[in-house]
A = this chain, B = another copy of it.
């Protein structure tokens, strides 16, 4: 499944509800999922963790659609060609204290 295909799937399922809710309320739902991810990371089963990660991905895709962002293009632009930290290496050779 491509990133774009997943974003479209979420749009097909929830696009109308998402547009009605708007981006700010959607961000709050995403934040709720982020908290559920923390819970699952701390004390959930492997499957619970996997499904919470899927939920974060889905709500991120929802927010992207509301704001006209193509997640796949953004991911490719940021990470597709070289480490965005500027080291130009695979694996990354940037200072671990910094993030790309």
Q: Which residues of A contact B (CB under 8 A)?
A: 1-3, 6, 9-10, 12-17, 20-21, 23, 27, 29, 31-32, 34, 38, 41, 46, 49-51, 53-58, 60, 63-64, 67-80, 83, 90-92, 96, 99-100
Partner of A9, one of B2, B60, B80: B80
Total copies of this chain within the assembly? 2
Distance from A8 Cβ to chain B, minimum over Cβ atoms (Å): 11
**Top-7 shortest CB links A-B:** A50-B74, A54-B78, A54-B74, A50-B69, A54-B75, A13-B92, A17-B96
Distance from A53 Cβ to chain B, minimum over Cβ atoms (Å): 6
CB-defined contacts of A72 to chain B, threshold 8 Å: 1
